[in-house]
Amino acid sequence: MSHILDEQARAIMRGNDRGKYTMPTEGLYPYQWNWDSAFAAFGFSTFDLGRAWVELETLFTGQWDNGMVPHIIFHEASDGYFPGPDVWATGQTPPTSGISQPPVAATFTRAIFERDPEFGRNHLKELFPKLLAWHRWFIECRNENGVIVVSHPWESGRDNAPDWDEAMANIDTSNVGEYTRNDTGHVDPHMRPNQLDYDRYMAIVYAGRDCGWDEIEITRNGPFRVADPGMTFILLRANRDLLAIAQELGEDIAEIQSWIQLIETGVQQLWNPEIRAYDSLDIRTGNFAGSTSSMSFLCWYAGINDTTALAEFDRIADAANFALPSHDPESDRFEPFRYWRGPTWGIVNTLIGMGLAEMGHTKQADKLREDTAKLIEQSGFAEYFNPIDGSPAGGMNFTWTAAIWLAWASPTLKIKGN
Ligand code: GLC
């Protein structure tokens, strides 16, 4: 069974491969997405190391002069997607969106390098300054006293998470006008963000476009500025991996070290004692979201051995049949099918599972891996899964689900001793 699924996963990745980058899935997401590509590279590294490096290198062809690596790169024209390059109007070549996404690339660059250091050394040298510039952009443009903020829910990678509810409710949509969404033509609308959410997403995009994507203006007056435990933990972890890369290459590490210290201290501001979890914080209002999302459990991945969070992890994992739901099933905002308001995501399980294993929380790490494998065995390579009954949701034949199967979840990895 596992061997057949390994074959299927490779076929999905090959099928979504556009030569130098991989689409998340045909139809729904026809371009290159930032963190999807980093996961794709991780998957490719299990069977085609050269292709893994190409995936990462193509991602950085979209990097802006200010260091930002955009969340979408529109390498080729495609009419099926909204909002496309003309709506973002960033003026970049290749055309890109105007916001970023969680920086998992340094972490997977390191992992891919370690598969074959000799093969990877020149690739690593090429990528290092680009990764460094991107992380520096986060510190300059998205950092508030050591916590990382997002300027749009799409930047967090978790579009409609309950974390954003309060900040989204404050978005003025009076200028949005008419537009046609394409996502609900590909996927059942009850699995997607609702219309009011979408209007607000567009209002934030238009605000960025109207100021010419000027980061100073977005920081000062942008309509959305929320500190995200997901982004914060992911950047902290990515900085640790970047530091290891710098050491490997004999580069200076002082600047990266200072970022690690800054965030290690800063992230403690996101601990919300009321929910006993790391929470999102609206910088505009100073309010916590009161939302226990799966991102809280990236603390271990970020290198913080928080044992208090373990009890909450166990409660939430036990409240679903397939861990780990993206939102607490015991909360009234939980929706098992709606995207980031409840479903289980294989990529998130991978990151949390890596962290748990590294910290020696083996029981919890194994559970995540086994539940992820069960979901894929039962429901295929779906974008995400209903955590209660395990049914598939969103797009199918999804690149990142295939990738994490190959690099992390497949039981055949155990046989190979990984
Ligand atoms: C959705 C997800 C985002 C992902 C993208 C492509 O927007 O929320 O995290 O990168 O789809 O798969």
Q: Tens digit of pLDDT for each residue in 42-80?
A: 999 999 999 999 999 999 999 999 999 999 999 998 877
pLDDT tens digits for range 78-137: 877 899 999 999 999 999 999 999 999 999 999 999 999 999 999 999 999 999 999 999
C-alpha distances (whole Å) from 343 to each of 26, 27, 197, 385 are 21, 21, 18, 5
| pLDDT number for residue 80 | 78
pLDDT of residue 414: 80
Protein residue with its CA nearest to atom 3 in ligand 1: 157
Note the residue count of the chain: 418
pLDDT class of 169 with cuts at 50, 70, 90: very high
349-354: which pairs have CB atoms within 8 A and are 24 or more residues apart? 349/323, 349/324, 349/404, 349/409, 350/39, 350/404, 350/407, 350/408, 350/409, 351/104, 351/234, 351/298, 351/301, 352/294, 352/297, 352/298, 352/300, 352/301, 352/324, 353/408, 354/301, 354/408
Atom of ligand 1 nearest to the CA of 159: 8
Dihedral sign (CA 225, 226, 230, 236): positive
Q: Which of 36, 163, 340 most suits a substitution to test ligand 1, by most atoms within 8 Å of the C-beta?
A: 36
Q: What percent of the chain has pLDDT over 90?
A: 91
CB atoms within 10 A of CB 398: 26
Burial of 320 (0-12, 13-18, 19+ CB in 10 A): buried
- Cα(169) to ligand 1 centroid in Å equals 22
101 CA distance to ligand 1 middle (Å): 9
Whether residue 417 is predicted with pLDDT greater than 60 in this model: the reply is no
**pLDDT at site 290:** 97
Q: Of all protein residues, whose CA lies closest to atom 2 belonging to ligand 1?
A: 157
Q: Is the pLDDT of residue 418 over 60?
A: no
Say what the pTM is: 0.98
Q: What is the pLDDT of residues 202-235, one digit of tens each?
A: 999 999 999 999 999 999 999 999 999 999 999 9
Residues noted as catalytic: 159, 383
For the stretch 353-397, pLDDT in tens is: 999 999 999 999 999 999 999 999 999 999 999 999 999 999 999
Question: What H or E segment, with its residue span, contains residue 255?
Answer: helix 254-266
CA of 327 to the centre of ligand 1 (A): 17
To test the ligand 1 pocket, which listed residue (33, 294, 384) has its Cβ within 8 A of the most ligand atoms? 33
**Closest atom, ligand 1, to C-alpha of 36:** 10
Residue 325, both tokens: 């739901």
Does the structure show a pLDDT above 80 at 28?
yes
| The predicted structure's pLDDT at residue 335 | 97
Cα 157 to middle of ligand 1, angstroms: 6
Band of the pLDDT at 416, cuts 50, 70, 90? Answer: low
Asked whether the beta carbons of 334 and 327 are under 8 A apart, the reply is yes
**CA-nearest residue, atom 9 of ligand 1:** 157
Strand ranges, E, within 210-260 = 226-227
| Cα 398 to averaged position of ligand 1 atoms, centre (Å) | 11
**Ligand 1 mutation target, pool 13, 16, 28, 29, most atoms within 8 A of CB:** 29
Please give all residues whose beta carbon lies within 6 A of any atom in ligand 1, as ranges.
Answer: 24, 29, 33, 35-36, 157, 159
Please give the average per-residue pLDDT across 243-266, as a whole number. 98
What is the position in ligand 1's atom list of the atom closest to the CA of 339? Answer: 8
CA angle 328, 331, 334 (to 5 degrees): 70
Question: Which ligand 1 atom is at minimum distance from the Cα of 71?
Answer: 10
Contact 255, 182 (CB under 8 A): no
